Amino acid sequence: MKISNAIRTTVSAALLIATPTLAFAHATLEVKQATLKASYKAVMRIGHGCEGTATLKVRIQVPEGYINVKPMPKAGWKMETVVGKYAKEYATEHVKLTEGVKEVIWTGKLLDAHYDEFVLTGTIDGSVAPNSTMWFPTVQECEKGFNRWIEIPAAGKSPSDYKEPAPGLRVVAPAN
Amino acid sequence: MFVASLMALFFVFATSWTQCAFAHAVLLQTQPAEGTVLAESPERLVLTFNEPVTPLVVQVIDPTGVRLAPDTIDVNNGAMTVRFSQTLAKGTSLLSYRVISPDGHPVAGSVSFSVGHPSVGVAASDPTPPVLKVLIWLARVGFYIGLLAGIGGAFFRNWIESDLPATKPARQQMSWLIKAGLLSAVVGWGLQGLDATGAGFESIVSPPVWGVALSTSYALTLATGALAMLVALVAGSSFRRPTGKLLSAAALAGAGAALSLSGHASSAEPRALMGLAVGLHGICVAFWAGALLPLLDASRRFDFWALLRRFSHFAVPAVVLLGLTGVGIASVQLASPAALLTTAYGQILALKLIAVALLLCLALVNRFWLTPALADGAEHIPRKLRTSIQAELALMVVILCLAGLWRFTPPPRALLIADAQPAHLHIHTEQAMVDVTLTPGHAGLVNVGLYFQNGEFGPLTPKEVTVQFSLPSAGIEAIERKATPGPDGLWSAGPFNLQPAGAWDLRVDALITDFSKAILEDRIEIRP
């Protein structure tokens, strides 16, 4: 009996953990919280194609304040970046940054039945307001149609109120 | 020459008026919106119309019923900003406005909002007080009597009665009718101003009230009518001269022109034809109504029979024309026979038709029984004829009184147009704004037109637009359609089957760049 109880507990716990994976229906960030002035690895999870068709292109827009971004190449995927001026100058310990990667585009093929991750790494600048949300608008281009994960919630609403919410990252102050 | 100039003047009046557009200003949005409960008294109120407007009267009625005048009113295109220095008391206040469209038509309405909490007591009321309505009606009836019976009388004296000696009372009667009509025109002008501005009776002395009335189409009718009555007055005194004939004919034409220059009927499409029908209808009424008093007066004379025969000669075609134009106007105005009983306009028309039927019966009796009998020299006939003419006079007054009531009832045709009117909504966010037009604005299959601008009123061309409606209160989930762009920057979507009527949630998604989308959401009232 003890064993079956343990199994039941484990199953319940597994279900609890599994619940957030429902979010795989959307494009989401694996880690949804980051600390100011710290590096952050953004892992964008793509759970399905558009209307059952394969994804051919994934584009991620880099939010302002996420600086010094380097995307991770993927085998089988062609990767391009759009480099442009930042809205302002960011001063790090070593250099002053005025421009950087603003958008990353991966071109390849991901079947609707498969899952994949697209990775960027960079730093959350200290000038970003603590307890704010950074949005990573992401566009999936498929054999048929688009998924645009670009809906930014209006004041008083949450991403779950939307059909295609933009993946969000909560930024918090470092715990001294 | 004078007559020719007068005719030309009427023609210029008539044609210039028909060219005016009848698109009235439509209120798109208010800040605060209808029914909003605000935490604090607002510093400013903004009314956004679809076209530039000129404010006539803007006031706020606070929860205690005190009327507050704004400190400043700024108009920037269609946006009217009203500022108050006073703080509104807690409860529901009413913002009442009256503005004038570029076409000169006053548009009035009110928006209620609350500070702190809603309260009862202040309600949007009929802007025209009952006393004013009665006075407007009386002035209109007086004007009609002068315009139709007075001018018609002058015409009768100059054309029908020209070679017969007129009695002094007959001449005086006509002059008094016209003077009463002229007085009614002046009073009607002032009352129209009071109605247009919504001002109290004490404001009748203020020039702006009279000025505002000038911008309404009824002023044109009053001015033309007054001119025609003055010409008729001159024609009446130049009796038995050629100028009298010409002037009275010009006055009669002027009476028709005056009636065709304003009113529900002559603003219906096809406007030129409707205006002509109204004008001819008026001329025929004037001919008939104007003849009654002189005929009554002449009934004691030995040559009454000759006069009556001459009148009958013209009266038959006039009555036929009167009937034809009347049926034509009514069929356009009513839109459906059922409206005769179901709408206020139709009910007035029904009563008027009963009065006209009685009048026609009397006329037939006079024409085919009493007049031939008079010719045979039967003794008691003149007395019977007098009674009959008196009854005709009374019926004519009843008819004019009924016609005057139409001032207050929109015709069923206009009600149908109002029903087909689109619903408008303006949604404004920092990022983008959209003007949404729902055609028609009532439940059923509705087409949506969208016009986008950026948050600073600049041009905005979305890459993709989707429109969705939902009615959560009735359990209706989102009905979504993609919109397609038109050549003029206008997007259209639909049709959407919006049933039942109610406050639908509307959401417009406009893709601005690949990564940014403006989501514009609001609620729109769909009429039953």
* A110-154 pLDDT, tens digit each: 999 999 999 999 999 999 999 999 999 999 999 999 999 999 988
Q: Are strands A168-172 and A33-35 parallel, antiparallel or unpaired?
A: parallel
Q: How far apart are the CA of A16 and the nearest CA of chain B, in angstroms?
A: 29
* Chain B residues near any Cβ of chain A (below 8 Å): 429, 511, 514-517, 519, 521
Q: Which residues of B touch A154 (CB under 8 A)?
A: 429, 519, 521
pLDDT value at A21 more than 90: no
- As a whole number of angstroms, the distance between CA A85 and CA B18 comes to 60
> Which range is least confidently modeled, A101-105, B352-356, B490-494?
B490-494
Kindly state the percentage of chain B with pLDDT values over 70. Answer: 87
Please report the pLDDT score of residue A17 as a whole number.
43
Q: What is the mean pLDDT of residues B345-374?
A: 88
Mean pLDDT, to the nearest integer, of B102-118?
70
Higher-confidence position of A130 and B115: A130
Please judge whether A139 and B516 are an interchain contact, meaning their C-beta atoms are less than 8 angstroms apart.
no
Residue in B429, B517, B521 closest to A150 by CB: B517
Residue A166 has pLDDT above 80, yes or no: yes
B514: nearest CB among A139, A154, A162:
A139
**Rounded average pLDDT over B250-256:** 94
* Mean pLDDT confidence for A93-118: 92
Q: Give pLDDT, residue B414.
A: 65
> A143 at the B interface (CB within 8 A)?
no
Answer whether 0.80 is exceeded by the pTM: no
Q: How many CB atoms lie within 10 A of CB B63?
A: 21
Separation CA B414–CA B408 (nearest Å) = 13
Of B429, B516, B519, nearest to A137 by CB-CB distance is B516
A23-27, B149-153, B175-179: lowest mean pLDDT where? A23-27
For the segment B369-395, the average pLDDT, to the nearest whole number, is: 83
Q: Is the pLDDT of residue A157 over 90?
A: no
Instruction: Please calculate the CA angle A139-B432-B426 and round it to the nearest 5 degrees.
Output: 130
Region B280-290: mean pLDDT is: 93
The reply to whether omega before B462 is within 30° of 0 (cis) is: no
Q: How high is the pLDDT of residue B65?
A: 65
Q: Considering only A17-26, A34-43, B90-99, B445-454, which range has the smallest mean pLDDT?
A: A17-26
| pLDDT range class, residue B486, cuts 50, 70, 90 | confident
Q: Which residues of A touch B429 (CB under 8 A)?
A: 154
Residue A63: closest CA among chain B residues belongs to which residue? B515
Q: Which residues contact A172 (CB under 8 A, 6 or more apart)?
A: A33, A34, A35, A36, A130, A131
Which residues in chain B have Cβ-Cβ distances shorter than 8 Å to A162?
A: 519
Q: Search chain A and give the residue with CA nearest B516.
A: A150
CATH superfamily of domain region A23-172: Uncharacterised protein YcnI-like PF07987, DUF1775 (2.60.40.2230)
Contact B257, B277 (CB under 8 A): no
Instruction: Tell which wins on pLDDT, B347 or B35.
Output: B347
What is the per-residue pLDDT for A20? 42
C-beta separation of B473 from B488 below 8 A: no
Taking phi over 0 as left and psi of -120 to 50 as alpha, with beta for the rest, B313 belongs to: alpha
Poorest-pLDDT segment among A57-61, A118-122, B461-465:
B461-465
Predicted pLDDT of residue A22: 41
Q: What was the pLDDT predicted at B101?
A: 67
Q: Does A61 touch chain B (CB under 8 A)?
A: yes
Residue B406 confidence (pLDDT): 85
Percent of chain B with pLDDT over 90: 24
Q: Is domain B27-115 in CATH 2.60.40.1220, yes or no?
A: yes
ipTM score for this prediction: 0.75
Q: Which one of A59, A61, A151 has the shortest CB-CB distance to B519? A: A151
Contact B511 A148 (CB under 8 A): yes
Residue B3: what pLDDT?
Answer: 45
Task: List chain A domain ranges.
Answer: 23-172
Cross-chain residue pair B515–A154, CB shorter than 8 Å: no
Mutate to test the interface with A, among B515, B516, B520, B521 (most CBs of A within 10 A): B515
State the Cα–Cα distance between residues B336 and B349, nearest whole angstrom.
13
Is the pLDDT assigned to residue A13 strictly greater than 50? no
Q: Looking at beta carbons, which pairs linking A99-104 to residues 24 or more positions away fall under 8 Å?
A: A100/A62, A100/A67, A100/A68, A100/A69, A101/A62, A101/A69, A101/A70, A101/A71, A102/A61, A102/A62, A103/A59, A103/A60, A103/A61, A103/A62, A103/B515, A104/A59, A104/A60, A104/A62, A104/A69, A104/A71, A104/A79, A104/A80
Q: Is A27 within 8 Å of A44 (Cβ atoms)?
A: yes
Within 8 A of A151 by CB-CB distance, chain B residues are: 517, 519
Residue B418: what pLDDT?
Answer: 65
Q: What is the CATH T-level fold of the domain B421-526, as seen in this structure?
A: Immunoglobulin-like (2.60.40)
The values of phi and psi at residue A100, to 5°, are: 180, -170
By C-alpha distance, which of B185, B248, B252 is closest to B220?
B185
* pLDDT higher at B3 or A32: A32
Question: Has residue B109 got a pLDDT over 90?
Answer: no
B61 φ/ψ angles, rounded to the nearest 5 degrees: -105, 115
- At B466, the pLDDT band (50, 70, 90 cuts) reads very high
Average pLDDT, chain A: 86
Q: Mean pLDDT: which of B107-111, B204-208, B291-295 is highest?
A: B291-295
B399 and B144 Cβ atoms separated by less than 8 Å: no
Closest CB to B517: pick one of A59, A61, A148.
Answer: A148
What pLDDT sits at residue B313?
Answer: 85
